[in-house]
Amino acid sequence: MALPRMKPQDGVAWITGASSGIGAAVALELAARGWTVAVTARRLEALERLARGAENLPGRIVAHAGDVTDAQGMRDVTDAIESIHGPIALAFLNAGIASGQGRAIDAETVEKVVGVNLLGVAKSFFAVQPRMNARGAGQIAVNASLVGYRGLPGAAAYGAAKAGAIYFCESMRFDCEAAGIRLQLVNPGFIETPMTEGRRFPMPFLLTVEEGARRIVDGFERGGFEITVPRRLAWILKVARLLPYPVYFALMSRFAERSG
């Protein structure tokens, strides 16, 4: 089945977690390419400020506040977007939080991070996917992370949630393909966002948020399942997934010692 690559004339784009970072930059990039972009996050004032920043672009940005941890709230947001602006043709499920630099891991941290980074993805996904199913077309992209490829020191909560998001997309791709929906997995590496500010460990191939957003939107237009940004880091980590445990753990222990 030929899966669609949605265009601005097909409807509106919807981005969760759009108040800052990758979500905000992707919203601006899509608006620059002519899309009407509905942006969602908890902070309405940040979304409205983002919308004002797109006033001179070919497309536009409109604010619809919501919390991805609230399943009914996400259904209400998609109802409002479609009733006001038209069908959601492209959804970028991007909302995510970090576990906190230097914070000791505990059950509460895992619950909070997984609640946003994995369950928030699922609640947003199931708010929009039935609408696309009914239309027989649509495009959904989920922002996971290259961190989700394999266990890394100090990333138990964040990495586990992102690994879950990767598995979720791999599994749901079959359902989406059968319904005529293109499901894409976005796996960024290190991008200059509030999440990477102040980090003391090495961040190879670090990209500006504008360049990262451009590459992500290029991936929306190109199609294919996985969008990796940057590709060089992705290939290194893909090779690392093939290493046997003793070799991998030895390499990561050495990395953690040098970064500590």
| 55 CB neighbour count, 10 Å cutoff | 9
Q: What type of residue is 173? A: R
| CA dist list (Å): 231 to 56, 141, 204, 212, 223 | 32, 17, 12, 11, 15
| Burial classification of residue 227, based on how many CB atoms lie within 10 Å of its CB (0-12 exposed, 13-18 middle, 19 or more buried) | buried
Whole-angstrom distance, CA of residue 135 vs CA of residue 150: 37
Per annotation, catalytic residue among 158, 167, 245, 248: 158
167 assigned to active site: no
Contact 31, 14 (CB under 8 A): no
The residues annotated with a catalytic role in the active site are 158
